[in-house]
Amino acid sequence: MATHKLLLLPGDGIGIEVMPEVIKVIDWFQARGVAGFETETGLVGGSAYDAHGQAISESDMALATESDAVIFGAVGGPKWDAVPYDVRPEAGLLRLRKDLALFANLRPAICYPALADASSLKREIVENLDIMIVRELTGGVYFGEPKEIIDLGNGQKRGIDTQVYDTYEIERIGRVAFELARKRGNKVTSSEKRNVMKSGVLWNEVITALHKREYADVTLEHQLADALGMQLVRWPKQFDVIVTDNLFGDMLSDIAAMLTGSLGMLPSASLGEMNPKTGKRKAMYEPVHGSAPDIAGQGIANPIAMIGSFGMALRYSFGLGDAADRLDKAIADVLASGLRTADIKGNATSTCSTGQMGDAIVAALDKASA
Ligand code: IPM
Ligand code: MG
């Protein structure tokens, strides 16, 4: 039985509340002999700042580098609003993405039929939706230099962020999108703002050339990012795989989340380049929802995005697609049974706690394998 090294980073807010639920699932797969997991736990975000004055310590960064997968909760909260910019909670997350070179962020948005009424859109628009947003994660305006506020000396300041993409960055994320599309609906929609941005012009050129050269069997469409936002709420089922840059991907994936009923439903995988020698790639798995300070500490957060993120680890890091399918089915079964956390309440008359949802998913795994 292969053993995989996991680094658990619960972080802040509801990250701390959903992590115990994914541990139940990890333990379940381990006990069933599906795989061995060696877990370590570290600090990130505000909790790391409180402990060491940094958004992530060097020793936890070293553990992350050595791990086969980082399982990440969420960071941030009003408690740390006033901390210096470079040690703010989000800096820990961004450092993990950058230093582990996790350039490919996969954000699937799936609407389970049982949840179609929890979405703010009509059932027929979202029911059975299955799209994959592929967000570039280590470039663009998030990391471009210069990034600063300068004093102009006349009572004015200037804030600068730099949107920058090189050919290789666009090509490698494009490849991830085309490869995924071949295993799904065979369609890629590439999105940028080439009508106002040079980086968008290059993005469009590089994706078009890559398609022509290596992926002509896949259908390729281009949509401007603003139009794509509109199309996502108008007719989301037209999409299969969407590939876009770091900032547009951040925004569009939050929009896509609401199509599924709740931000509490969206898992994600952040992947690095495959190492041809080891056949392994660096990876981090995190729910798309943040630390949700408004509901933190109440035990009512939805753990499905966190548990689904571990499902993605089974699939994309450990080659355990069957186990991932079993986990997805257990989640669907629990939703079909009517159990609901508050965020996906819809027309339900009662809601369950974070822990009850985690227990129900483990029970559904048990039941399906009895
Ligand atoms: C996300 C989050 C992060 C981002 C924040 C917490 C820095 O919104 O993962 O979507 O902007 O990438
Ligand atoms: Mg976001």
- Per-residue model confidence as pLDDT tens digits over 29-64: 999 999 999 999 999 999 999 999 999 999 999 999
Annotated active-site residue in 12, 250, 328, 343: 250
Can you give the pLDDT at residue 261? 85
User: What's the rounded Cα separation, in Å, for the pair 73 and 287?
Assistant: 7
For atom 9 of ligand 1, the residue with the nearest CA is 288
Annotated active-site residue in 117, 161, 226, 359: 226
Q: Is 250 in the pocket of ligand 1 (CB under 6 A)?
A: yes
For atom 10 of ligand 1, the residue with the nearest CA is 250
Q: Is 91 in the pocket of ligand 1 (CB under 6 A)?
A: no
Distance from residue 74's CA to the centre of ligand 1 (Å): 9
Distance from residue 364's CA to the centre of ligand 2 (Å): 30
Distance from residue 346's CA to the centre of ligand 2 (Å): 24
Ordered structural domains, the chain, with CATH: 1-106+266-370 (3.40.718.10), 130-259 (3.40.718.10)
Task: Give catalytic status of residue 254 as yes or no.
Answer: yes
Q: Is 255 in the pocket of ligand 1 (CB under 6 A)?
A: no
Task: Give catalytic status of residue 142 as yes or no.
Answer: yes
Q: Residue 2: pLDDT band by 50, 70, 90 thresholds? A: confident
Average pLDDT of the chain is: 96
Q: What is the 3-state secondary structure (H, E, C) of the chain?
A: CCEEEEEEEEECCHHHHHHHHHHHHHHHHHHCCCCEEEEEECCCCHHHHHHHCCCCCHHHHHHHHHCCEEEEEECCCHHHCCCCHHHCHHHHHHHHHHHCCCCEEEEEEECCHHHHHHCCCCHHHHCCCEEEEEEECCCHHHCCCCCEEEECCCCCEEEECCCCCCHHHHHHHHHHHHHHHHCCCCEEEEEECCCCCHHHHHHHHHHHHHHHHHCCCCEEEEEEHHHHHHHHHHCHHHCCEEEECHHHHHHHHHHHHHHCCCHHHCCCEEEEEEECCCCEEEEEECCCCCCCCCCCCCCCCCCHHHHHHHHHHHHHCCCCHHHHHHHHHHHHHHHHCCCCCHHHCCCCCCCCCHHHHHHHHHHHHHHHHC
172: its two tokens: 């490698």
Each residue of 56-112: pLDDT tens digit? 999 999 999 999 999 999 999 999 999 999 999 999 999 999 999 999 999 999 998
Distance from residue 293's CA to the centre of ligand 2 (Å): 15
Can you give the pLDDT at residue 30? 97
Out of 9, 14, 44, 90, mutate this one to test ligand 1's pocket (max ligand atoms within 8 Å of CB): namely 90
Can you give the pLDDT at residue 149? 97
Task: Give catalytic status of residue 193 as yes or no.
Answer: yes
User: Average pLDDT for residues 259-267, to the nearest whole number?
Assistant: 90
User: What's the rounded Cα separation, in Å, for the pair 252 and 269?
Assistant: 16
CA 110 to chain centre: 13
Annotated active-site residue in 112, 142, 285, 316: 142
User: Average pLDDT for residues 302-316, to the nearest whole number?
Assistant: 97
Q: Is 290 in the pocket of ligand 1 (CB under 6 A)?
A: yes
Q: How many residues does the chain have?
A: 370
For atom 8 of ligand 1, the residue with the nearest CA is 250
**Tokens 């495959």, residue located:** 274
pLDDT at 347 over 90: no
Cα distances from 352 to residues 6, 73, 303, 359, in angstroms, run: 28, 20, 11, 11
Contact 102/272 with Cβ under 8 angstroms? yes
